Structure 1
Amino acid sequence: MPGDIFSGFHTDVSRSRLAQKMDVIAFPVCSAAVIRAVPFKKSLVPTPNSSTNVHHQKVVHYSATVGLSPRRDAETELEDKKYELLGVIRDTQRGLVTTADQRSVIEEALVSVEAFDAGEAIDLGELDGTWRLQYTSAPDVLILFESAARLPFFQVGQIFQKFECRDESNGGVVRNIVKWSIPSLLEEQEGATLLVSAKFSVVSSRNIYLQFEEIALNNINISEELQALIAPAILPRSFISFQILQFIRAFKAEFPVRNPGRTSVGGLYYLSYLDKNMLLGRAVGGGGVFVFTRAQAIVL
């Protein structure tokens, strides 16, 4: 995918190795079971009775020596864990190219980040916004990447998830956004947009239920070659050719999402980690994991 997943990623922790702010979305898979939160504590400071208390005392002493509080030290460790996660997924082409050993390392890195706020309720105000997919193991998303790798006439660009829930207390709207293209006919990477819309409701501190409603195809941007064929550059654009171009740009096809019983398709999705610039999710029932980073807002 274009760009570097580390670009733009930043932190307020001065000792962090991160020097920039990453852009970042989810494409959750539906299933039928609920994942239970791993019983980790967000705070990394051990209790007085912990067997690691001696190590903790050394950390506190070191932090005091260099002017850092234990909390500050924990924040630095969190940023390092996030950096490590981005490092291990960096060359996987968003999950398309991985070995069993790589997937094991990625899972370990995921769990290390998830441990920092496991069990705490999702902040819908923080979830609100646009997220870019950086990695997934979900089969129904990987098949898009596999198709693009095999078929010369099909490209998959960026994939986003846009949550609209800032002023809500128990749910909102989520839109899965897939940018794709057909070379020579549409613009590279972003020739058209596939949009899957769903309503979601919070069913527990970390699980949301998705009620898919509609699939739409819009934002078609044809290539310069095709525009030249419709309205040659050497001739003034006729009213008919202009109307054709306008129709293509404004075209939108919408299809309701229904199962054979004529009810909306739905499923559970577990949000395992969330902060201002990273979102981790797990499709309930073994449908795959997702790594997203914050992206600029998308106007649909």
Structure 2
Amino acid sequence: MELAFAASVYPTNVKRVIYEIRPHSSKLVTNKRRSFHKKFLCSVAVAPDRNRVSEVELENKKHNLLLAVQDTQRGLAATADQRSIIEEALVSVEGYNMGAPLDMAVLDGTWRLQYTSAPDVVVLLEAAARLPFFQVGQIFQKFECRDQLRGGVIRNVVRWSIPNLLEEQEGATLVVSAKFDVVSVRNIYLQFEEIKVQDINISEQLQALIAPALLPRSFLSLQILQFLRTFRAQVPVRNPGTGSMADRRRSVGGLYYLSYLDQNMLLGRAVGGGGVFVFTKAQPLEL
């Protein structure tokens, strides 16, 4: 903290008192009469710590952003007025480290989705809201790039379920994997590689139907249970266009602008009107 002194050490209106110390004596003897009738005045002006003020302002803006998205069901129920308020709060936070290079060590890890306006994610949330046999749980982005300089791997993770057949909220996991390259200070280019369904957790009702607890479990029923629990389906992502075979074999890709990043918040924008994303740091995911 910087201190600005508004008065000198010896005020002009106070007499200086000089002390001398005699050898082998701990007592102080003055050659002038002590003068205590005047007070020593020193006014101190404390200069504000600009870095500290900026940190407090930033945390307040991040808090306001999270409050704005809190009741929107991750963007599904956001009204036009709410989206306007959220966009204003986003821009306010994004202004704090615009132009700063991406820190791969900070980006690395698991991020939980709090809000999005991306159509491909909102339509998934809409399907879960309308269809009684489909549930969507937590949605994550997992970056694997700690020891990389110009890129890494990103995995979009969706927990989903089918009531009565799979466990609630986390009955199965959908993983969309992509490689990414840093193409500018804040832009990364995604090349999607595959879609995978894994981690099937069947419900107790389905387990009882396949292999009733009161009856001896047959080899076939045990095989079915084992198959469901270890089931994993992988589908490569390819360009659906009608061009040449080489063009259709190319991975689907797109630009993604990481507009803000710190230890506990990640903001992104899909370039080309693909929507915005608000993430907060989450516990590591094992996939």
SS at match of 1:147: helix
Name the CA distance, whole Å, in 2 between partners of 1:91 and 1:157: 16
The counterpart of 2:50, out of the listed 70, 77, 82, is: 70
- 1:274: how far off? 0.3
Partner of 1:107: 87
- 1:235: how far off? 2.3
Partner of 1:12: none
The counterpart of 1:269, out of the listed 232, 256, 272, is: 256
Aligned residue pairs, count = 236
- 1:282: how far off? 0.3
Partner of 1:175: 155
Tell me the TM-score normalised to structure 1 length: 0.77
Name the CA distance, whole Å, in 2 between partners of 1:215 and 1:64: 58
- 1:152 is aligned to 2:126: no
Partner of 2:270: 283
Partner of 1:191: 171
SS at match of 1:79: helix
SS at match of 1:247: helix
Unaligned runs of 5+ in 2: 1-44, 242-247
- 1:294 is aligned to 2:276: no
- 1:242: how far off? 1.6
- 1:86 is aligned to 2:66: yes
Give the letter aligned to residue 190 of structure 1: E
- Per-residue Cα deviation, 1:173-218 (whole angstroms, up to 9, x for no partner): 0000011111000000111111100000000000000000000111
Q: Which protein has greater RCO, CA pairs closer than 8 Å, 6+ apart?
A: 1
Name the CA distance, whole Å, in 1 between partners of 2:95 and 2:217: 60
Name the CA distance, whole Å, in 2 between partners of 1:149 and 1:176: 20
Give the letter aligned to residue 109 of structure 1: A
SS at match of 1:106: helix
- 1:240: how far off? 2.1
- 1:100: how far off? 1.1
- 1:238: how far off? 2.5
Name the CA distance, whole Å, in 2 between partners of 1:246 and 1:287: 40
Name the CA distance, whole Å, in 2 between partners of 1:94 and 1:206: 24
Name the CA distance, whole Å, in 1 between partners of 2:230 and 2:257: 36
Name the CA distance, whole Å, in 2 between partners of 1:98 and 1:298: 28
- What percent identity do the matched residue pairs reach? 72
Larger radius of gyration: 2
- 1:237: how far off? 2.5
Find runs of 4+ consecutive structure 1 residues off by over 3 angstroms: none
Name the CA distance, whole Å, in 2 between partners of 1:109 and 1:255: 38
Give the letter aligned to residue 180 of structure 1: W
- 1:253 is aligned to 2:233: yes
Tell me the TM-score normalised to structure 2 length: 0.80
The counterpart of 2:103, out of the listed 119, 123, 148, is: 123
Q: CA RMSD, aligned part only?
A: 1.2
- 1:263: how far off? 1.0
- 1:98: how far off? 1.3
Partner of 1:138: 118
Give the letter aligned to residue 276 of structure 1: Q
Give the letter aligned to residue 71 of structure 1: N
The counterpart of 2:198, out of the listed 209, 213, 218, is: 218
